[in-house]
Structure 1
Amino acid sequence: MTILPLATFCCPPLLAGNLTAAEANDIAVLFRVLGEPARLMLLSAIAAQPSQEVCACELVESLGLSQPTVSHHLKVMYQAGLLTKERRGNWIYYQIVRERLVFLRKVLN
């Protein structure tokens, strides 16, 4: 009887199959964006909100980052399609694009 290593048994190869250049680029962009710890913290903070949205102004104090830093990271995540935004008066509210997270989950499965 052959015993397979645990990693082989529980985890199929990442992205089994052939990717097109466009698919590979799209996936790489998302991983680059999420490769920054501050962005993961921001994504987590937004996801933790009961309404699944948060005003950018609320993220500055809660994460201990400067306003320009938070704005920059939110902009990068928005441009990558991970967030949507809506202006309400002087404030901008951000929401996670669930479809992008589902896409990443499928890539990792």
Structure 2
Amino acid sequence: MVTMLEVTDVSTAACCAPLVSEPLDAADAERLAHKLKALADPTRLRLVSIVAASEGQEACVCDLIEPVGLSQPTVSHHLKILSEAGFLSRSKRGTWAYYRLVPGSLDGVAGALLTS
């Protein structure tokens, strides 16, 4: 017995949806990748969340060491990466550094992903 298969003409159908907004250009993709790499570490994600949850969205490095269970130099290294990526700003008070969440920095990453 021979089974007949139904054939659907797809020659006029588009293979994919058309672009409805502008995709990332190479420079924007590079900048976004740098920011995402900074966040793509569990310790750094925790540090950002601790700072964001702190009063005034600011925390002393001395208050960030115990929650993540790492040495002060290691925590400072992670905070430097987050600062260079634009998520945290740093101010020095005496011997300690204080880190503050940069307003809109996390929104900027989410927005770039949603509108690209």
Q: TM-score, normalised by structure 2?
A: 0.76
Which of 88, 96, 105 aligns to 1:91? It is: 96
Which of 10, 20, 25 aligns to 1:20? It is: 25
Q: What's the Cα RMSD here?
A: 1.2
Q: Counterparts of 1:57 and 1:32 in 2: how far apart (Å)?
A: 25
Q: Counterparts of 1:20 and 1:89 in 2: how far apart (Å)?
A: 43
The aligned runs of 1:24-35 (5 Å cut-off) are: 24-35=29-40
Are residues 1:47 and 2:52 paired?
A: yes
**Equivalent residues, number:** 94
SS in 1 for 2:89: strand
Q: Counterparts of 1:26 and 1:98 in 2: how far apart (Å)?
A: 18
Q: TM-score, normalised by structure 1?
A: 0.80
1:22 CA displacement: 1.3
Q: Which of the two has greater helix per residue? A: 1
Which of 82, 97, 106 aligns to 2:111? It is: 106
Q: Counterparts of 2:86 and 2:98 in 1: how far apart (Å)?
A: 15
Q: Counterparts of 1:19 and 1:91 in 2: how far apart (Å)?
A: 39
Aligned counterpart, 1:73: 78
The amino acid that maps onto 2:43 is A
SS in 2 for 1:84: strand
Q: Counterparts of 2:52 and 2:105 in 1: how far apart (Å)?
A: 13
Structure 1 segments of 4 or more deviating over 2 A? none
Note the residue ranges of structure 1 that are not aligned, 5 or more in a row. Answer: 1-15
Are residues 1:59 and 2:67 paired?
A: no
